[in-house]
Amino acid sequence: MIRVLLVHDECLVRSVLADWLRREPDLGVFHAPWRGASRRVSTVRPDVCAADLECADSYGIPPLGELGARVPGVPPPRLLVLASANRPGLLKGAVEAGALGYVDKEGAPERLVEGIRLVAEGKRFVDDSLGFGFLRAAEMPLTRRELSVLVLAAEGASVAEIAGSLHLSNGTVRNYMAAITRKTGARNRIDAIRISQGEGWL
Amino acid sequence: MIRVLLVHDECLVRSVLADWLRREPDLGVFHAPWRGASRRVSTVRPDVCAADLECADSYGIPPLGELGARVPGVPPPRLLVLASANRPGLLKGAVEAGALGYVDKEGAPERLVEGIRLVAEGKRFVDDSLGFGFLRAAEMPLTRRELSVLVLAAEGASVAEIAGSLHLSNGTVRNYMAAITRKTGARNRIDAIRISQGEGWL
């Protein structure tokens, strides 16, 4: 029996998906929203976490790291993500979190079952249709520092506030913002934020 | 038999939801993404469109009007939406589009079946848990004109570009932006866009 924790922020969708997965006799299915998922990992002790990369909180960046929360003596669950090729930033985050499985939400649901079984064996599972998303993820143009500036700007912080929280001068923050605008091919700061949120970089 | 067209932008989710709905013997279920949904309405001629308010395109505002596309001699489908209380702007859009049914995605999936049956009879169906969302929708602080300015700003347009497309002076656009920032309780333009997108106003 493979114990699966399905993580999705919409109760209606995750209940129906869990029901649908339960038709497979080798799957034991639990479900949770992102908020509180790490606690559920400790109690359910799933073999596989199947997590939707769309997250209702914190600007849509899912806290993937929390799903690996270790219980002493118990191996962490293997991670499979439900992804889409047009949010390369979220794919990149999943790669960095060590996800083994990548199921395209534009595909057939049977792929999710296949993916869960392979990932449970410690094998990789990647939908071909996500290829272009991985390519764009590899081309992510911003440095970590530029991203942290942009995250604060997207929260509505002023140049002075960003400078204050990152211990930079106002001029340096303006230089970063100019570099971000240029590298994302944006017309201005608001456009840079729009483009970066669309790609899932922040 | 109630003919239902389920509109959702994720193929995996809408296939499983459709499968799940098909267990009800009185429902004939079809599904489509938002893009192309109006064409499917003309061919499927559903009694009820059950549409997810999250839309992958055009800044997440679903083209609800297109679902009503009339075929001569055939009544337009009745509209039920899958909604969440924390996106009051999307709820407001659904009210304006004349939706009869409002199912909370935070609720149990059985509510969707109940909702479809009532809406098919021309009756209203509203999940109580959406109440706070409707309250906030009624409190929407921006005028239509302010919204059209903000939509362009959120697309990355400059003050001069906004002025050009709305046939206003630069000063008037700046006045609108100042009013928008004040009315949304934002710190600056970027913050006003962030707040308004979060609420689903744009």
More confident residue, B69 or A4: A4
- Candidate ranges B85-99, B110-124, B138-152; pick with highest mean pLDDT: B110-124
Give the model's pLDDT for residue A58: 61
Show me where the domains of chain A are located: 2-137, 144-199
Distance CA A103, CA A51 (A): 10
In this predicted model, what pLDDT tens digit does every residue of A68-77 receive, in sequence order?
A: 766 677 788 9
| B57 touching chain A per CB within 8 A | no
* Percentage with pLDDT > 70 across chain A: 98
Q: Where are the alpha helices (DSSP H) in chain A?
A: 11-21, 37-44, 88-96, 110-120, 131-138, 144-154, 159-166, 170-183, 189-199
What value does the mean pLDDT take over residues B44-66? 86
Query: Which three-class secondary structure state does DSSP give residue B160?
Result: helix
Q: Hey, of B6, B13, B31, B110, which one would you mutate to test binding to chain A, going by the most A CBs within 10 A of its CB?
A: B13
CB distance A100 to A119 below 8 Å = yes
| Model confidence pLDDT, tens digit, residues A117-166 | 999 999 999 999 999 899 888 888 898 899 899 999 999 999 999 999 99
Q: Which CATH class is domain B144-199?
A: mainly alpha
Q: Residue A4 is inside which H or E element, if any?
A: strand A2-7
pLDDT tens, position by position, B180-198: 999 999 999 999 999 998 8
Amino acid (1-letter code) at residue B21? L
Q: Looking at CA atoms only, how far is residue B62 from chain A in angstroms?
A: 16
In this predicted model, what pLDDT tens digit does every residue of B74-94 receive, in sequence order?
788 999 999 999 889 899 889
pLDDT at B75: 83
pLDDT at B70 over 80: no
Reply yes or no on domain B2-138 having CATH 3.40.50.2300.
Answer: yes
Average pLDDT of chain A to the nearest whole number: 92
Q: Is A57 near chain B, with CB under 8 Å? A: no
Domain over A2-137 is classified CATH 3.40.50.2300: yes
- If pLDDT is split at 50, 70 and 90, which confidence band does B200 have? confident
CB-based contact, B185 to chain A, within 8 Å:
no
Q: State residue A59's pLDDT score.
A: 63
Q: Reply yes or no on whether the pLDDT at A200 is more than 90.
A: no
The alpha carbon of residue A6 and the mean position of all alpha carbons in its chain are separated, in whole angstroms, by: 14
Q: Residue A201 has what pLDDT?
A: 85
At A169 the pLDDT is 96
User: Which positions 85-104 of B are in contact with A (Cβ < 8 Å)?
Assistant: 86, 103-104
What are the two backbone dihedrals, phi and then psi, of residue A70, each rounded to the nearest 5 degrees? -90, 140
User: Is the Cβ of B154 closer than 8 Å to some Cβ of chain A?
Assistant: yes
Q: Give B114's pLDDT tier (boundaries 50, 70, 90).
A: very high
Phi and psi angles of residue B51, each rounded to the nearest 5 degrees, phi first? -115, 130
